[in-house]
Amino acid sequence: MHPLPSSPAAMDASVDGALFRAGMRRLASSVCLITAHHADRRHGLVATSISSLAAEPPSLIACVHRSASAHGPIRQAGAFCVNLLGTRHEELALLFSDPDRRDRRFETAGWATLATGAPVLADALAAFDCRLERVVEHATHAILIGTVLDIRIDDFGDPLIHADRRFTRLAAH
Ligand SMILES: Cc1cc2nc3c(=O)[nH]c(=O)nc-3n(C[C@H](O)[C@H](O)[C@H](O)COP(=O)(O)O)c2cc1C
């Protein structure tokens, strides 16, 4: 353990990026697809950086790399949908994180829309249709704050989890 920093100088340097990534691999997260519809095209990416923000008003955050192909369209559309994936969606997660297959992301699976027009995965465990309320830029990423306008919840599903650089599932108690 490190002692608490004794001077402001100790607060200057951040840890090495590789060390940070190694620590973050221990963070298990639900896998989602963030989707948007803009200029007659659908866009999306896999993301684990989703968090509930507040219940009043219902809102969430999502962190998207500013170089992601969906980043611009999400901001231009002013809306996005967060689709929670189940273990049955592992192939879809691979597709939505593969730049080489970017143009084929919406060819498989069933898609619908709710309030905003952003693509809603028909059998997502839950889909949160959001108006983009605010964007906070930090380094390489944009923190998107969304107000949830509509939600679709599927009957049942085992959530798809990502931890230690692989897809996995929750263990039964
Ligand atoms: C498990 C997993 C989680 C990811 N989480 C995020 C995320 O939260 N934010 C993000 O910008 N990219 C995330 N990515 C990376 C994007 O999904 C990936 O770079 C994708 O190819 C971006 O879309 P593009 O190729 O069309 O630009 C994640 C990838 C994986 C495999």
pLDDT digits (tens, 9 = 90+) for 49-62: 999 999 999 999 99
**DSSP-derived 3-state class of residue 104:** helix
Check: CATH 2.30.110.10 for 29-168? yes
- CA 45 to CA 43: how far, in whole Å? 7
Please work out whether the CB of residue 68 comes within 6 Å of at least one atom of ligand 1: yes
Output the pLDDT for position 6.
63
Residue 27, sorted as left (phi over 0), alpha (psi -120 to 50) or beta, turns out to be beta
Q: Output 166 or 172, whichever has higher pLDDT.
A: 166
Output the pLDDT for position 130.
98
Give, for ligand 1, the residue of 48, 74, 80 to mutate: max count of ligand atoms closer than 8 Å to Cβ: 48
Give, for ligand 1, the residue of 97, 100, 141 to mutate: max count of ligand atoms closer than 8 Å to Cβ: 97
Output the pLDDT for position 69.
98
**DSSP-derived 3-state class of residue 29:** strand
Is 80 exceeded by the pLDDT of residue 156? Answer: no
Is 90 exceeded by the pLDDT of residue 28? Answer: yes
Output the pLDDT for position 114.
98
Is the whole-model pTM more than 0.75?
A: yes
Percent of the chain predicted with pLDDT > 70: 95
Of ligand 1's atoms, which has the minimum distance to the CA of residue 162?
1
CA distances to 1, 32, 84, 122, 128 from 153, in Å: 43, 14, 10, 10, 9
